[in-house]
Amino acid sequence: MTRKPLRAVGDGERAVKLTITEAADAGELRALLVAMQSRVATAVQDPGTPARDLAALTKRLMEIAREIKALDVEDEEAGGGEAHGSVDTSFDASAV
């Protein structure tokens, strides 16, 4: 499978959601977690999911959500905030 280079999403575009397999093949941990979150949420929401499985699925769904949040916080602390649209307005040119 050939990997497409990453790029910023342009105006009017939406980010493409990867399947679990595509995210795993790409080696992108956050994308993998998001794909897994979507899949587990679908199973939790499905009325056909056996009741015996709901507790484990719901617990895993919450764990995945925490893992995604932790990655986002880590990214933000590492200076990745600009990618999420935040702007650092505290620049002081005289400090340079």
pLDDT score of 92: 65
Measured over the CA atoms of residue 5, residue 8, residue 13 and residue 18, the dihedral's sign is positive
Please check whether residue 8 is in contact with residue 29, taking contact to mean a CB–CB distance below 8 angstroms: no
pTM over 0.75: no
Q: Where are the domains of the chain?
A: 20-77
Separation CA 55–CA 24 (nearest Å) = 25
**At residue 58, what are phi and psi to the nearest 5 degrees?**
-65, -40
pLDDT score of 95: 67
Per residue in 20-76, pLDDT tens?
999 999 999 999 999 999 999 999 999 999 999 999 999 999 999 999 999 999 988
pLDDT score of 47: 96
Angle at 74 between CA 89 and CA 57, to 5 degrees: 130
